[in-house]
Amino acid sequence: MPEWDVYSYNAILSLYAQTGHIDRAKALFDGLWIKDSITWSTMVAAYAQDGGSHTNLAMELFRLMVLDGFSPHGLCFVSLLAASSHLGLKHETRESFASMVSDFGVDPSPEHFLCVIDALGRSGELGRSRELIESMPFVPDEGAWSTLLAACSRGHGSSVEELAAHKTLELDPRSSPTYVLLSSALCCQV
């Protein structure tokens, strides 16, 4: 029978994480004597996606990954940025985004930008969020505008709300979630 290798353990770790068995994933992770960047990234993503108290653990594990000399890839940064955004850590999200580019040479994807847009929106900086959407190095899609619209529905509404709704509906006029976000944003104004 062949010996288990890091790829086998990564597959099991990923399975535990995807099925919500975070404690089992962590136990396996802690017991591994050999890890690669995929092992670390999988555990960071597991914590980030699980949310709650695990979100802080995702950020801490990311730091340990870097200290252990592993270079995070683009997907790992999506997990980190999403975790810090969901915790409302606007500055950490922006710093991680900048570090991703300058320190690790990772080219930002639309998903990376969405996390920063979300962090700015959650903190009520709708104007800066809109500016980021308009300055991205690719054409903004429905996801970018609906992320901004979602921030408006959290009670941060402004003139940006109308633009976000218009752009989102222009890109997908039959998007039910857009109408729900729009109605939530309008309710916050009343």
User: Which of 55, 77, 107 is the last residue before a domain boundary?
Assistant: 107
Average pLDDT over residues 159-185: 68
| φ/ψ (deg, to 5) at 35 | -135, 150
CATH of residue 152: 1.25.40
Based on the structure, what is the number of domains in the chain? 2
User: Which of 44, 79, 107 is the last residue before a domain boundary?
Assistant: 107
The region of weakest confidence among 55-59, 148-152, 156-160 is 156-160
**What was the pLDDT predicted at 51?**
75
Query: Distances in Å between the alpha carbon of 68 and those of 17, 31, 34, 64, 95?
Result: 22, 16, 12, 6, 20
pLDDT at 176 over 90: no
Domain residue limits at 152: 108-189
pLDDT at 174 over 60: yes
Identify whether residues 92 and 133 lie together within a single domain. no
DSSP the chain: -PPP-HHHHHHHHHHHHHTT-HHHHHHHHHH-S---HHHHHHHHHHHHHH-TTHHHHHHHHHHHHHHTTPPP-HHHHHHHHHHHHHTT-HHHHHHHHHHHHHTT-PPPPHHHHHHHHHHHHHTT-HHHHHHHHHHSSS---HHHHHHHHHHIIIII-SHHHHHHHHHHHHH-TT-HHHHHHHHHHHHHH-
Identify whether residues 136 and 96 lie together within a single domain. no
pLDDT at 1 over 70: no
CB 166 within 8 A of CB 182: no
Identify whether residues 101 and 14 lie together within a single domain. yes
CB 178 within 8 A of CB 146: yes
Taking each helix axis as running N to C, give the angle between helix 176-189 and helix 142-151, from 0 to 180 degrees, rounded to the nearest 10. 30
Identify whether residues 157 and 98 lie together within a single domain. no
pLDDT at 173 over 60: yes
Can you give the C-alpha Rg of the chain in angstroms? 19
pTM: 0.84
**What was the pLDDT predicted at 179?**
62
In this structure, what token pair is assigned to residue 91?
A: 């500055």
Identify whether residues 58 and 73 lie together within a single domain. yes
Q: What confidence tens digit (pLDDT) does each residue in 58-86 have? A: 999 999 999 999 999 999 999 999 999 99
Distance CA 123, CA 57 (A): 22
User: Which of 107, 123, 154 is the last residue before a domain boundary?
Assistant: 107
Identify whether residues 33 and 10 lie together within a single domain. yes
Identify whether residues 146 and 79 lie together within a single domain. no
CATH of residue 19: 1.25.40.10
**What was the pLDDT predicted at 75?**
96
